[in-house]
Structure 1
Amino acid sequence: MTIAQSTEFPRPEPVGHGPGAVGTPDEFAELLPQTRRALLHRLAVGQAEGRAPSMTGAVVRDGRAVWTGARGAVAGEASHGDVQYRIGSLTKTFVAVLVLRLRDEGLLRLEDPVGRHLEGTPVPDATIAQLLSHSAGLAAEPRGPWWERTAGALRPEPADLFDERPQRLPAGRHHYSNVGYAVLGALVERLRDGVPWGGVLRREVLEPLGMDRTTLRPEKPYASGWAVHPWADALLPEPAEDTGLMGPAGQLWSTLQDLCRWAAFLLRGDARVLGAASLAEMRAPAVPPESGTWDAGYGLGVQLLRREGRLLVGHQGSMPGFLAAVWADPEEDVAGVVLTNCTSGPAAGALAADLTGIVLAHEPRIPEPWRPLPGPLDPELLALTGPWYWGANPHALRLRAERGLELTPLSGAGRSSRFRAEEDGTWTGLDGYYAGETLRVRRDRDGAVSHLDLGTFVFTRGPYEPSAPVPGGVDPEGWRV
């Protein structure tokens, strides 16, 4: 195999879709030359030090690929954005979206035991949420030989995936389980009238997002998978088996261009595939950390990583001969993608995270221009805005788009949260301490606003306002010096 020189693709592929899609040539915004060189340098160092036959990388920002590059070769030619690589456990993020779609359609609840919907499974008591978040305590790997390097035909039935002890730990503790995602794939097939999970994925996710080069089996052009000798610069080909029932844990092949589309979806969502609220639910930590603080965790089908003060969401993947990673920063609207055809050596996950950090260090995100809310403006909602006090702690309530509200502390201490308007006149917390909690406006007998009730906490217009129903009451003598 010859090794080509490092290359930077001449112009990244647009990844926007549908009406108003971004990334068309006349809207394309180039990164600065020093930023592009820093990105290419990081990719080149990763490929050289990791001794990878080939490596490709990309950065997605503002809904489009703003940089793509390659190092090394595939079949003697420089790799490019349409070459397929196996993406391993990145497959799990796709399966999780399929499950969340079923939930949003009312076909299941995340707290349901999987046995309620999937007859005959050896783990009927594991909840769907636990399977998504690897917290059911299931075995990490299926029964039999190393599943990633052997044919799925060795495990033709769901019962063949488990040995006599399918649950290794008490439920509730994070324990990564590939076999748990095989169960989720079977669940998707059962609730989609027997259509295999791969067919459901094609119809419900890949086609709407324009990911035509993401497949269950490799389609040319694709990279071969290699192992690199630990003490010599020599290569050994790796097998690329069809893993059968274990496919939902790591079967997919994809390209740099397609994964840029997937990263854009993880950043911004797409109403045709999954609503913003459900996507935000996937990103939230689903199981408590092992200690009081954490720098890595798991949501519903996505990995979470704290890095340099930022929270990244995405996934890393590995299969024999391949490594892959997608890390997205929703707050900064930037993501990094890395693909390589090497079993071990390159730190694909760290590299993908570094690509996002390089862009933010060289070119901090320019905020969207401020715009007024679309009309008409509801005067009653506007009257709710302004200062509110939890006890003596001042907060500000601001009106956002679609009748949403945002509560933020003004003293530097306190809890902030955004709230979604509900049809019954209440609001539901979207993040922070108040996520899932209900905000209600309470009125007196005359219909005037008395106070805000937020999960039993009372917010008043003045600090410990005597006329409001402050729990425990307010001293009748009031404030004093």
Structure 2
Amino acid sequence: MTTPHEELLPSTRRSLLHRIATAQTEGRTPSLVAAVARDGELVWSGGRSMVDGHAPDENVQYRIGSITKTFTAVLVMRLRDEGVLDLGDPLEKHLPGTGAGEVTIAELLSHTGGLAAETPGAWWERTPGSTRPELADVLGQDPFKHPSGRRFHYSNPGYTLLGSLVEALRGAPWEEVLRGEVLDPLGLSRTSAQPQAPHAGGFAVHPWADVMMPEPVEDLGLMAPAGQLWSTAADLARFGTFLLKGDDRVLCGESVREMRTPSAPLQAGEWDRAYGLGLDLLRWEKGSLAGHGGSLPGFVAALWVSEADGLATVALANCTSGPQVAALAVDLVKIVADAEPRIPEPWRPLTEVDERALELTGPWYWGTQVLALRLTADGGVEVGPLSGAGRQARFRSNGDGTWTGLNGYYAGELLRAVRRVDGSVSHLDLGSFVFTRTPYDEGAPVPGGVDPQGWRGFP
């Protein structure tokens, strides 16, 4: 990833700098660094520091806390894509004897397993991992606080279980697996389990006075998959690009899209916030964002990505509390999206056309509602209303004249063209719904039949 800072307009760069400068001053943090990537390229980074002339750049490491969970989730999704496990499998199937084996892998990924938020005993983020040498020490005697699958309840021990699952199935330490399967393929050379110079030191800033003291840096041991990693703004921006597009060396685009899909039940009063598989999901006035925040004593971090804008933003600071880096990273998205809207790619015709699919394009009727079927550039199709609200979905081609829904009401449902003996299309079948070329086509097998007197006025 290059760093062509000139790609953004001077006014946009100044707005970004003003925003992080305000965050560093008002948040009273020793230092802060931020970055913006657009369409896979790092287009801006900036830093502020309490020491004149020593602002951090995009290659200085900070501890990223719970953003580590997203990396762990990628490892689990790789195992799923390889067929080693199913997200619906109970943990006990692959990691027996934990005492929490009834919870499913999907529930652990989405924090819906009902497990406790924290470990029993001393504050795990400020104590050595060696004080919790076994999973029993992480989970305690009563690991469940809620029934599994019923509600979102953030759980750090849940991601410890996922890290141990990765180790059991790969036969290697979590850190080693992460390096070989994610960090190295994506070129994240400045992301590591232990700090590597240059790196920031973590501080606590007194809430009522402008004084500070260092925070301890602990190796989290078994809890590492929940929050151990150190990284840089540049590396996280690159990782954010991966979370938008996927990378077949690590995880395909369809699987990272699945991670960005809500998986946890929404809570009352939180309709603008959800959680996917290892990713926090946020709605804002122009669309949706996916990412994660992180904190450990001495550090706060945030990463957000916007698929609609092709943007990934990162904010890192080295204090225990103060700067609202999650809101800061969201604001960086807004600044760039508002000031420099994404320029659409040029329209280009398809390079290959499936004639049998082309035959299906145009209007279809579900009852009396008219919908349109269109071909998409990736060889799939899209079905949706001609205007106004209604069910709309994308479908991927299965290569046999059928398509599987990817989103919305028809996600997972099969779309197929039903043909007559002579090969002509009778109707479309979509999850038992019949779509015809004219409303209630009497020549098609419309469920319930069609009144033999046909359409008529009111006498």
**TM value normalised by structure 1:** 0.92
User: Does 2:401 correspond to 1:425?
Assistant: yes
Note if 1:120 corresponds to 2:101.
no
Which range moved further: 431-440 or 319-328? Answer: 431-440
The Cα offsets for residues 154-204 of structure 1, whole Å up to 9 and x where unpaired, read as: 0001111112111110111110000000000000001102x1111111001
| 3-state SS of paired residue (1:428) | strand
Task: Please say if residues 208 and 272 of structure 1, whose CA atoms lie closer than 8 Å, have aligned partners that are also in contact.
Answer: yes
Match of 2:164 in 1: 186
Which of 164, 167, 174 is the matching residue for 2:141? 164
Give the letter for the 1:224 counterpart.
G
Correspondence list, 1:394-409, <5 A: 394-409=370-385
The correspondence for 2:41, drawn from 64, 87, 91, is 64
User: Structure 2 CA distance, aligned partners of 1:305 and 1:184?
Assistant: 24
Which amino acid letter does the alignment assign opposite residue 176 of structure 1? Y
User: How far apart, in 2, do the equivalents of 1:355 and 1:293 lie?
Assistant: 23
1:222 is aligned to: 199
- Percent identity among equivalent residues? 61
Contact 1:74–1:224, Cα closer than 8 Å, also in 2: no
Change (3 A) 1:417 1:269: same
Residue 262 (structure 1) aligned to one of 234, 239, 250: 239
* Aligned CA distance change for structure 1 residues 74 and 157 (closer, same or farther; 3 Å): farther
**After superposition, what is the alpha-carbon deviation per residue over 1:214-257, rounded to whole angstroms, capped at 9, x for unaligned?**
00011111101011101001101111100000001100000111
- Once the two structures are TM-superposed, the CA of residue 309 in structure 1 deviates from its matched residue by 3.3
* Partner of residue 300, structure 2: 323
Q: Is the counterpart of residue 340 in structure 1 residue 317 in structure 2?
A: yes
Task: Provide the C-alpha distance between the structure 1 equivalents of 2:318 and 2:111, rounded to a whole number of angstroms.
Answer: 27
Code of the residue aligned with 1:177 in structure 2: it is S
Give the match for residue 313 of structure 1: 290
Q: Secondary structure at the match of 1:246?
A: helix
Question: CA 1:312–1:402 in 2, change beyond 3 Å: closer, same or farther?
Answer: closer
CA distance, structure 2, for counterparts of residue 469 and residue 412 of structure 1: 28
**SS at structure 1 position matched to 2:7:** coil
Kept in 1, the 8 Å contact 2:427–2:434? The answer is: yes
Tell me which amino acid in the other structure corresponds to 1:417: A
2:390 aligned with 1:414:
yes
Does structure 1 conserve the Cα–Cα contact (< 8 Å) formed by 2:244 and 2:257?
no
SS in 1 for 2:175: helix
Greater Cα shift, 380-389 or 183-192: 380-389
- Deviation string 1:381-409 (CA, Å, 9 cap, x unpaired) is 11011111111111111112342111121
Measured at CA, do residues 29 and 430 of structure 1 come closer, stay the same or move farther in structure 2, by a change above 3 Å? farther
Greater CA drift, 106-115 or 398-407: 398-407
Alpha-carbon distance between aligned partners in 2 of 1:76 and 1:318, rounded to the nearest angstrom: 26
CA distance in 2, matches of 1:139, 1:298: 17
Q: CA deviation at 1:73?
A: 4.9
Matched, 1:135 2:112: yes
Task: Tell me by how many angstroms 1:292 deviates.
Answer: 8.3
104-113 or 324-333, which deviates more: 324-333
Distance 1:366 1:46, change over 3 A: same
Paired with 1:190 and 1:76, the residues of 2 have a C-alpha distance of 47
Q: Does 1:274 align with 2:217?
A: no
Query: Is residue 2:419 matched to residue 1:436?
Result: no
Moved runs in structure 1, 4+ residues, more than 3 A?
73-76
Greater CA drift, 421-430 or 350-359: 421-430
2:35 touches 2:58 (CA, 8 Å); kept in 1? no
Q: Is the 8 A contact 1:74 1:223 kept in 2?
A: no
On the 8 A contact 1:73/1:79 being kept in 2, the answer is no
Report the equivalent of 1:251.
228
Find the aligned partners of 1:331 and 1:76 in 2 and give their Cα distance: 37
Letter in 2 for 1:462: T
**1:462-481 maps to which residues of 2 (within 5 A)?**
462-481=438-457
Q: CA deviation at 1:414?
A: 1.4
Q: Say how many residue pairs are matched.
A: 456
Counterpart of 1:4 in structure 2 is none
Tell me the residue number matched to 1:3: none
Would you say the 8 A contact 1:438–1:455 is kept in 2? yes
User: 1:380 and 1:74, CA in 2 relative to 1: closer, same or farther beyond 3 A?
Assistant: farther
Deviation per CA, 1:412-467: give whole Å up to 9, x if none: 13111110111443211111111111111112233321111111211111112121
Report the Cα distance in structure 1 between the residues aligned to 2:324 and 2:455, rounded to whole angstroms: 60
2:341 counterpart residue number: 364
Is residue 2:155 matched to residue 1:177? yes
Which whole-Å CA distance do the structure 2 matches of 1:137 and 1:35 have between them? 44
Indicate conservation of the 8 Å contact 1:322/1:340, yes or no.
yes
Contact 2:244 2:253 in 1 (8 A): no
Residue 75 (structure 1) shift:
11
| Residue 38, structure 1, aligned to residue 15, structure 2 | yes
Structure 2 vs 1, CA of residues 74 and 480 (structure 1 numbering), >3 Å: closer, same or farther?
A: farther
How far did residue 369 of structure 1 move? Answer: 0.8
Please, which runs of 5 or more residues in structure 2 have no aligned partner? none
Ranges in structure 1 where 5+ consecutive residues have no aligned partner = 1-12, 15-22
- Asked if structure 2 preserves the Cα contact closer than 8 Å seen for 1:75 and 1:223, the reply is no
Q: Who is 2:65 aligned against?
A: 88
Letter in 1 for 2:446: V
- 8 Å CA contact retained: 2:372, 2:384: yes
Q: Quickly say closer, same or farther: Cα 1:407–1:353, change in 2 above 3 A.
A: same
Query: 8 Å contact 1:393–1:411 — kept in the other structure?
Result: no
Find the residue that maps to 2:142 and give its secondary structure: coil
Aligned residue in 2 for 1:9: none
Q: Distance in 1 between matches of 2:273 and 2:387?
A: 30
CA distance in 1, matches of 2:50, 2:314: 18
Q: Which residue of 2 aligns with 1:209?
A: 186
The alpha carbon displacement at 1:308 in A equals 1.6
Q: Whole-Å Cα distance in 1 between the matches of residues 210 and 53 of structure 2?
A: 17
Structure 2: distance between partners of 1:365 and 1:419: 25
One-letter code aligned to 2:54: E
